[in-house]
Chain A
Amino acid sequence: MSTLDWAVLAGWLAFIVAWGVWKGGRSRDSESYLLAGREMRWGTVTLSIMATQASAITFLSTPGQAYADGMRFVQFYFGLPLAMIVLSVTAVPYYYRLKVTTAYELLEHRFDLKTRTLTSALFLTQRGLAAGLTIYAPSLILSVILGWELGITIAVIGTMVVIYTASGGTRAVSRTHTLQAAVILLGMAAAATVLTASLPDGVSLLDATRVAGAAGRLNAIDASFDPDDRYTLWSGLLGGTFLMLSYFGTDQSQVQRYLTGRSVAESRAGLLVNGLAKVPMQFAILFLGAMVFAFYQFSAPPVFFNPVEAGKARASAVGERFAGLETAYAAAVAERGEAARRLAGALRDGGGEAEARAAYAAAADRADAVRAEAIEVIRRADPDANPSDTNYVFLSFVVTHLPAGLLGLVLAAVFAASMNASSAELNALAATTVVDVYRRHLRPHASEAQVVRVSRLATVAWGVFAIVFAESASRLGSLVEAVNILGSLFYGTILGVFLLAFYARRLSGTAVFVAALAAEALVVACFAFTGISFVWYNLIGCAAVVALAYGLAPVLRRAPVAG
């Protein structure tokens, strides 16, 4: 990194912390600190919702996903606009009617205290661990590509987020989200511009697009009904709606964003504009990844994009074999590059297309075979090495090809995205800790000043927990997957409880509480005693809560509730 890049990155980070502290102001009451005084307009609500969902991993992994697997991942988001409409009609007015600060308060009103406490505890467990991962994952990628010390990268991101989130609360989070979104947009636009300009002479953007399409990377829509295929039009519209409803409707890190709206109308509009903007944004990021793929069809990529693992292989007992494969790969991709140029010409001019396609496919197969062999050698050198390098593709391109200054801007965008997601998580964890635990169970008569003070302390405490967990995750690699599984263990149960709160009119709190406990036990049993993939736990947990609550209702009958 050049001095200019460091100056851009450091300058931006210093500015955003100062801006967050300044814009956060001095909150004197809990509504001001935890909900920004409910004074945000729809534009700020939209940007804050989008910034919370789009963590650094979105901008680092999604292009890599398109590079390796094409653009079909965009279908995963097709349920989001539909979920925004459903939540605008149902959840938003419900939350406003009750004037809640956290989503879990609604459950006490609708059911009882124990149901509220159970779901808030599940949220704190799940989101508390996820907050560590939100810092850890991009830090790992940045440290691998740039050679930075992982522990320091984690500490820098975590500390900066804690400073402005604890100082200014939700207002600081929302205000920094809007500014950070602009930097992310600029960073991605800079990367796209340099990518287009870096295409070899005689290859236009349209040529590159055609080659990416011929290689199967522009497969945005798959209308097949294959249940084994994770990303199809139907899984996006059905499963995606389900998933987005649970995330935006019951996860406090999102609920708190739209509860900052100055009215029901502003909150609803914020959600709906998110529904308009999210899918095109994901399409653009995936298209960027597909263009990185096209770029590397004409230029030589490394045999493996994770330089740390490649370095380990070079220095190992099988280093000579790996070096030989690197040489063979360079020759294979040079051949592939020639074939790609001929294919681009054929697709542009329309002559000899079939032959050009066949030659390109054969050259690509040869290069892929050498790469697969190199990955095997990497695994032999380090059995714990991750054979997937998709997370490193985009940042590797950025570091290698962006000029001084713009690299700093893109890295600032990556930091911005990481800080956006982390700040929203810490803010939500603090709100739930204070509203659902401290003020509900420990100090019901705490003054507003005390609540604000404890909220700040809770933000710092969760921030420290996230940093410490992120530092530990670097030494306990398998724990990362364990946390993902842990999240899936809880999310379905929480969604089931909220679905009943919104739509079931005649269920008692005790029936729902017992159903939630039993459903949770069922999900844990699936995890412990069956081979069912954890991606199904959300559906199993949610369905079990609903079915068991209705099944138990006649046994545990109480006074019906009008909902």
Chain B
Amino acid sequence: MTEPAPPPHPTEGDPPPFGGTWARLYAVVTGWLALQVLLYWLFTRAFA
């Protein structure tokens, strides 16, 4: 079938259950990953 995509789901624009906004949550996940990479790099350096 080749038809247009259906309209957005009614709950698609809902805010996240915690954290305020989706943009903030995405930033937290990305920032947490960056922080972990930094911490693990320091960990590697400290014990190498």
Which chain A residue shows the least CB distance to B2? A561
Interface size class of B (residues with CB under 8 A): 20 to 34
Q: How far is the CA of A559 from the CA of B32 in the complex (A)?
A: 44
Beta-carbon contact of B43 and A220 below 8 Å: yes
Q: Knowing A97-B7, A97-B12 touch, does A108 contact B29 (C-beta < 8 A)?
A: no
List, in ascending order, chain A residues with CB within 8 A of B1's CB: 108-109, 112-113, 509
Contact between A111 and B2, CB atoms less than 8 A apart: yes
* B6-41 interface bits toward A, Cβ cutoff 8 Å, 1 = contact, 0 = none: 111101101111100010011011101100110011
Q: How far is the CB of A244 from chain B (nearest CB, A)?
A: 12
Within A464-498, which residues are at the interface with B (CB < 8 Å)? Answer: none
Q: Closest chain B residue to A277 by CB distance?
A: B32
Measured in the bound complex, the distance between the Cα atoms of B1 and A558 in whole Å is: 11
Residues of A within 8 A of B47 (CB): 209-210, 212-214, 218
Partner of B2, one of A42, A78, A112, A264: A112
Docked CA distance A413–B37 (Å) = 29
Q: Are A264 and B37 in touch, CB under 8 angstroms?
A: no
Flag if A81 contacts B33 (CB, 8 Å). Answer: yes
**Which B residues are in CB contact (< 8 Å) with A272?**
16, 25-26, 29
A37 CB–B CB distance under 8 Å: no
CA of A264 to CA of B16, assembled, Å = 9
Given that A74-B40, A265-B14 are contacting pairs, would A563 and B5 also be in contact in the complex, using a CB cutoff of 8 Å?
A: yes
Q: Is there an interface contact between A78 and B44, defined as CB atoms closer than 8 Å?
A: no
Q: CB within 8 Å of B: which of A541-563?
A: 558-559, 561-563
CA distance A265 to B9 in the complex (A): 11
Instruction: Provide the residues of chain A in CB contact with B40, threshold 8 Å.
Output: 74, 220-221, 283
Task: Flag if B37 contacts A78 (CB, 8 Å).
Answer: yes
Q: In the complex, what distance in Å separates the CA atom of A150 from the CA atom of B40?
A: 39
Asked if A276 and B14 make an inter-chain contact with CB atoms under 8 angstroms apart, the answer reads no
The smallest beta-carbon distance between B15 and chain A, in angstroms, is 7
A218-B48 in contact given A93-B9, A264-B11 (Cβ < 8 Å): yes
A96, A99, A279, A280: the one contacting B12 at CB < 8 Å is A96
Q: Which residue of A lies closest to B28 (CB)?
A: A276
CA distance A265 to B22 in the complex (A): 9
Complex contact B4–A96 (CB within 8 A): no
Given known contacts A112-B1, A212-B47, A509-B2, A275 and B29 CB-to-CB distance under 8 angstroms: yes
Please give, as numbers and ranges, the residues of chain A lying within 8 Å of B5 by CB-CB distance.
Answer: 94, 97, 109, 562-563
Instruction: Kindly identify which residue among A97, A99, A109, A268 contacts B8, using a CB–CB cutoff of 8 Å.
Output: A97
Please state if A268 and B16 are interface contacts (CB–CB under 8 Å).
yes
> Nearest Cβ in chain B — how far from A539, in angstroms?
23
Q: Are A279 and B9 in contact (CB under 8 A)?
A: no
In this assembly, does A508 line the interface, its C-beta being within 8 Å of a C-beta of chain B? yes
CA distance A99 to B17 in the complex (A): 21
Q: A272 CA to B43 CA in the complex, in Å?
A: 25
Is B26 touching A85 in the complex (CB atoms < 8 A)? yes
- CB proximity of B29 to chain A, nearest CB, Å: 5
Residue of B nearest to A72 (CB): B44
Task: Tell yes or no: A219 within 8 A of B by CB.
Answer: yes
Known: A81-B29, A112-B2. A264 touches B14 (CB 8 A): yes
Could you pull out 20 A-B pairs where Cβ atoms are within 8 angstroms?
A: A78-B33, A94-B5, A98-B6, A220-B41, A220-B43, A221-B40, A221-B41, A221-B43, A233-B37, A263-B14, A264-B9, A266-B17, A272-B16, A272-B25, A276-B28, A276-B32, A279-B36, A283-B40, A561-B3, A562-B5
What are the nearest 7 A-B pairs in CB distance?
A213-B47, A220-B40, A265-B14, A263-B11, A96-B9, A218-B47, A221-B41
Interface residues of A (CB under 8 A from B): 41-42, 74, 78, 81-82, 84-85, 88-89, 93-94, 96-99, 108-109, 111-113, 209-210, 212-214, 216, 218-221, 223, 233, 263-266, 268-269, 272, 275-276, 279-280, 283, 508-509, 558-559, 561-563
